Amino acid sequence: MLFQLILSGLATGSLYALTALGIVLIFNNTRTINIAQGDFGMFGAFIALMALSSGLGFGGALVLSIVAVILIAVLMHLLVMRWIEDADWLILLTATLGVYYVLHGVSGWLWGRDTKSFPDPFPKEPIEFLGAMISKGHIFVMIIAFVIGGLLFAFLKYSKWGTAMRALKEDKYCASLMGIPIKTIIILTWAVGGIMAALSGFLLAPIIWVSPGMMDTVLVKGYAAAIFGGLYSMPGAVLGALFIGVAENIAGGYLGAEYKVSLAFVMIIIMLAIKPTGLFGGGKRREV
């Protein structure tokens, strides 16, 4: 039973990891904790569902969803965040909270509040792995999350634009002096964050169906993973997401389902008490 819970927890944690990566990436380059990250994915799931309903295949629906969410994320920056980018972090957080409620309201107006079934591309029959049963959908989620995470790390480490994004993270003023186009890199940051959100929403949709509130829990757990691993550490965010997914699954299996919701918050409190910068967080940073 324990191995079964661990496998399912890794699949759940992979979804949290995509959201956590988007949160950490945007925070590193904009100082913004994006509360609307989950609703980006929710909007993408609705758009993918519309595409599938119109006869488009899963690949086309995914591409359309990603493009739409990138557009939403970039528009959020251009219309809202760009004008307050030098404000206090609390103002930035409040602005993203406002966008969260706007997206919630618009989605409810466009598609209604009821949950909607999302087609599952995988057979229902699970497969056996080392004595545990796991669905093909969960295996696919873990593979996609691993591949996307690897591509993101490679992009940030080896590409010209990724290097520019890392430079902006370290020091915005020095990056500007080195000729890095700060405004372009910030737009790119929001776009990549949108890709993470779209993938998370698309992968989650067949599991819990589609509704305006479908990503709320995932957002909370993704944020918990980012805090747990360290808001400045992408590997920490991934490990934190996987750890939370496994831990809450084990807690639900042995203690009861009601403990799964609160466990992430308990872990945040414990981590902040022991190591305020997170599991893989660096030294303290201070804005002047």
pTM, to two decimals: 0.88
pLDDT at residue 72 in the model: 95
Burial zone of 179 (CB within 10 Å; 0-12 exposed, 13-18 middle, 19+ buried): exposed
Kindly list the domain boundaries of the chain, sorted by start residue. 2-274
pLDDT at residue 131 in the model: 67
Helices 258-274, 216-229: axis angle to 10 degrees equals 30
CB 58 within 8 A of CB 46: no
Fold classified for 2-274: ABC transporter involved in vitamin B12 uptake, BtuC (1.10.3470)
CB 19 within 8 A of CB 218: yes
Return the SS3 of 214.
coil
Beta bridge mates, 133? 128
pLDDT at residue 286 in the model: 44
161: which residues sit within 8 A by CB, 6+ positions away?
Answer: 155, 185, 188
Q: Which two tokens stand for residue 243?
A: 């750890």
pLDDT tens-digit readout, 32-83 = 899 999 999 999 999 999 999 998 888 999 999 999 999 999 999 999 999 9
Q: What are the DSSP E strand ranges found in 123-271?
A: 127-129, 132-134
For residues 218 and 232, give the distance between their C-alpha atoms in angstroms, rounded to a whole number.
20
pLDDT tens-digit readout, 89-120 = 899 999 999 999 999 999 999 998 888 988 87
pLDDT at residue 130 in the model: 66
Residues of the chain predicted below pLDDT 50: 284, 286-288
pLDDT at residue 288 in the model: 36
